[in-house]
Structure 1
């Protein structure tokens, strides 16, 4: 009889340990060392912006947790037909899958139940999204907060009172940057003017250069901000070739990419509104392996989490007047504390959005 009781006790202990290791539920469970591979699924590397920065976060997270297999799978530009099979292949082959955007999330919604032992980290997700997938964690970036700081800075250092914004396409996430940028400009100067242009895609660098050139030469903009992925590099060229106007980059500290290869171009990039996807992704991976990530939820990360902030590098500190730096620091503290409310393009109706654009039109 004692042998039977002892056997049952041992079996119960083993079952308890097994369940703890699975990490089911929204608290992420315990240690997840059984996951030995991570994959990042994206359109393409080499954009010197969003994808490259995110991939760095995946690599850092893998290194932090001594994960030997880390891979990036690119489905290619403008190839939506390849998105779903690429995500399925990734889920088949890897333990932890990292990707971004609403379209990829829609694909995960179709397949997540087929992979109960896998984990998905999805970022750049609509803040209004209700995540009910127990093995999926979603991050929304409050880019409108970071671009509020960018708009305020641009207006403070502008000599003409007119600043520029060139976005890739009128998707709500890109519009969200613009809404924050305009809000910051108007906060710094109620009479601010903001020229707004959209390219239509995130690859056409010559088009970005053309639109930025129009903003400079027709609208008299002297500080221009790009939110256009690889296409946005054309804005930097326009700023260089049209009297060395100031440019503000996006996602990464973009000046760093050109310091060695094209220092003259680097010197028009005053700062960048960093959307630190690398920091966010790395934290999500680390919390996953520590069993502390709230799978089945969506979290909103912005200025308070230091993931949507300006790059305050040495070049910034050298060329931005001390009083303007202090002004931006004060704004950052107020935004982080929730003392300044910033509108978002998410949930904004078309009439309000158009009225906002028109209110600052040069």
Structure 2
């Protein structure tokens, strides 16, 4: 567990160093931020709540003020962003999720003097007045894929995505790559519920995966993931949480959680506005090396992952950080390529 402690320490030091820098910038403190949530809103125990943690920390450390806008649906993203920008009293309008990229492009074009930030995007810059933050979820998914493959007793593991979209395939590919790296013969099933807000669907899809032999299922589905965890508890199998640390939701049932430190990303974007370093037209990436992703280990999943698996996770994390292993990012893959990653493995086929 040595390297995992180093990764966790890296994230903690990231916050600590940002806080130290911010003390020299308090003359600009008191900026106002509008946070437009992703689908599911606050209370999702996942993505939105973790970004909110970053806002709370920015309020404490940097003296900011913030308001939260919770769109009722994806179709409301653009109007929510435009409403915040049109108010002309927010120094930063912060959005989240891959589904918000196009609405933010349009809002940013309509309000070129407004600073925007967005968490959880691809590699391509959004607009000249938008800063993006990218947690390398494919690297974090790689590590929990290693844990799943080395823990599975059936030789089959599963994945329940919310929507069948590129950003969710990023998670699946990383998970698949990690599992296949340590267990080439492991079977990895994938399913997509079609919703990020339907726990009942999450449970239904997970029960079907369990019936197909999967004894560990990775939930990448926001609120829908609660159903994945419920199904795991009912069937005495394991679930893997996502975004925030969800181990506490079902102690002994959640094998681990793939944490995307979107709180760090949000804090970093806000800090750039506070200290005057905000520069649009760029996306910053945060992977295992930067403490942007990690596998959650705590009292709620203690003993669920073997010492041998933990040691292998540490070993492979170090290799990702050094560059010896390059986990494939689905969005950057050549559609015609038959293999992916370094070292290369065969791409997953539909199953």
Say whether residues 1:198 and 2:192 are aligned partners: yes
- Contact kept, 8 Å, 1:64 with 1:286, in 2: the verdict is no
Say whether residues 1:356 and 2:347 are aligned partners: yes
Structure 2: any 5+ residue segments left out of the alignment?
1-24, 340-345
Change (3 A) 1:103 1:147: closer
**2:36 alignment partner, one of 28, 37, 41:** 41
Question: Matches of residues 265-276 of structure 1 in structure 2 within 5 Å?
Answer: 265-276=250-261
Task: Show the counterpart of 2:289.
Answer: 304
SS in 2 for 1:305: coil
Task: Show the counterpart of 1:144.
Answer: 138
Say whether residues 1:123 and 2:108 are aligned partners: no
Structure 1: any 5+ residue segments left out of the alignment?
1-29, 259-264
Say whether residues 1:108 and 2:108 are aligned partners: no
Say whether residues 1:223 and 2:216 are aligned partners: yes
Task: Return the offset for 1:32.
Answer: 7.3
Say whether residues 1:57 and 2:57 are aligned partners: no
Change (3 A) 1:137 1:255: same
Please report the TM-score for the alignment, with normalisation by the length of structure 1: 0.81
Please report the TM-score for the alignment, with normalisation by the length of structure 2: 0.83
Deviations, residues 13-64 of structure 1 (Å, cap 9, x unaligned): xxxxxxxxxxxxxxxxx88717621110013212111111112212221221
Question: Matches of residues 1-362 of structure 1 in structure 2 within 5 Å?
Answer: 33=28, 36-42=31-37, 43=39, 44-67=41-64, 69-77=65-73, 79-80=74-75, 82-93=76-87, 94-112=90-108, 115=111, 117-127=113-123, 129-133=124-128, 135-217=129-211, 219-242=212-235, 244-256=236-248, 258=249, 265-348=250-333, 356-358=347-349, 361=351
SS in 1 for 2:28: coil
CA distance in 2, matches of 1:225, 1:271: 9
Task: Show the counterpart of 2:17.
Answer: none
CA distance in 1, matches of 2:48, 2:338: 28
Larger Rg: 1
Change (3 A) 1:351 1:165: farther
CA distance in 2, matches of 1:344, 1:107: 24
